[in-house]
Amino acid sequence: MILFVTFTASVLIAAAAAAADHPHKHLKTLADDCRFALADRKFDLCPLFTGQRLAQWSVHYTQQTPPSVTTTLYQFSLAGPLKRNASLPDDEQCAEGTWVCMKTINRRPQRSQEPPRVTQLIPVVAQFEDASLASAAGREDFGIYAQFGYVRGDQSAPLWLSMSGGYYVDKPQRLLFNLMCAPDNQEPTYGWSWNGTHTFDWKTRHACANVRATPSPYPPTPPDDPAPVIDAPPADELITPPPVSPRMTARAVTTILFCTIAALFGVAYVTLHPPEFVRSFRIRRLRTRVSADKLLRWADEDLALMEVGEEDEMVNAHVDNEQIPLKPSPKLGFANYGSAKRSGL
């Protein structure tokens, strides 16, 4: 019990330290909560999410996939669900309630008369109106989160804005804006897509945080509202490598060391002061004995393997069917062994 309590406390302490190293904030909308604070940094992203940026916009890239050409189109609506296009059939649009939709379009240049084909539709961020999609197993709830990304090289930590709620082929989907501090504002560009996470790099001066000198007027993030875990793809599957931390923080090292020492103390205490069930287990093991029949069988097998010389042969060594029991049997009474016989008292 003490070891279990020690281990549980160590895990909780490690989780608390990890959460402190990566603070996050839940945002209602990017338009209403565009000013916020993380740790001792203040951000003002309102210029990025006002005006045209709140309306529907898109980012695309094209790949040569002989004998065809494949275009991947991301449609964004950061203020609410995408508007339906009445000129397109429903099977060429993402489901109702989608905020960010990924559409894959394929065409064959050699067949100019052939219309382009929509080969894939992924609702990356959504508040589904369809009950079957909204209640799908494994789907993440819709949410917008801000948190610091991983440090790469000598650069400062980027700001991550993640949006969740999408779902496609039994896998949750999410969007990640990787905002990096830069002297000029640039348009967001496609970064990488892996394991349901679709990432866009965005270099802008609005991602350069200001150090907060006064206490934050913003309420803290509720502890029961964790940010979703962002998966990073393997290095050989990247278009743009994801940010990776080159070293562990001092707080993380201290936490691991403390947890290790606590676990060792717990094991040592249980060893020196075992609880009742451990002591009873030891007693049962000590009371366990090998049966007499098994010991006799082992002795017979050993004698059969030994080469007994004439000078080493024991008296009565070849008496048939004579076995000396290792303990008396009250049922069979006393037997006569050796030259002395038992006489009545």
Give me the CATH topology for the region 23-249.
Answer: Cation-dependent Mannose-6-phosphate Receptor; Chain A (2.70.130)
CB of 127 closer than 8 Å to CB of 139: no
On the question of pLDDT at 183 being above 50, the answer is yes
Q: CA 323 to CA 233: how far, in whole Å?
A: 73
3-state secondary structure of 82: coil
3-state secondary structure of 282: helix
Token reading at 335: 């037997």
**Which range among 11-15, 141-145, 270-274 has the greatest average pLDDT?**
141-145
Whole-angstrom CA distances from 221 to 71, 106, 108 are: 39, 43, 50
Beta strand residue intervals within 20-135, DSSP E: 24-27, 35-38, 41-44, 57-65, 68-76, 98-107, 117-126
Per-residue pLDDT, 274:
75
Sheet with 210-211, side-by-side order of all strands:
35-38, 41-44, 210-211
CB of 191 closer than 8 Å to CB of 239: yes
Q: CA 316 to CA 120: how far, in whole Å?
A: 92
pLDDT tens-place string over residues 236-276? 444 343 443 333 445 566 778 777 888 888 888 777 777 77
Residue 179 or residue 318, greater confidence: 179
Q: What percent of the chain has pLDDT over 70?
A: 60
Domain spans of the chain, in order of start: 23-249
pLDDT tens-place string over residues 97-128? 999 999 999 999 999 889 999 999 999 999 88
Per-residue pLDDT, 325:
57
Per-residue pLDDT, 235:
47
Rg, Å, the chain Cα set: 37
> Across-strand partners of 59?
74
Q: What is the mean pLDDT of the chain?
A: 74
CB of 125 closer than 8 Å to CB of 99: yes
Q: CA 46 to CA 48: how far, in whole Å?
A: 5
Per-residue pLDDT, 61:
93
Q: What is the mean pLDDT of residues 175-185?
A: 92
Helices and strands, number each (H, E), in the chain: 5, 13
Q: CA 163 to CA 172: how far, in whole Å?
A: 11
Residues contacting residue 62 through CB under 8 Å, at least 6 positions apart: 69, 70, 71, 72
pLDDT tens-place string over residues 31-78? 888 899 988 889 999 888 877 666 788 999 999 999 999 999 999 988
Token reading at 315: 């008296």
Per-residue pLDDT, 3:
45
Q: Which of 285, 210, 177 is nearest to 44 (CA)?
A: 210
Token reading at 160: 């991550």
Per-residue pLDDT, 212:
55
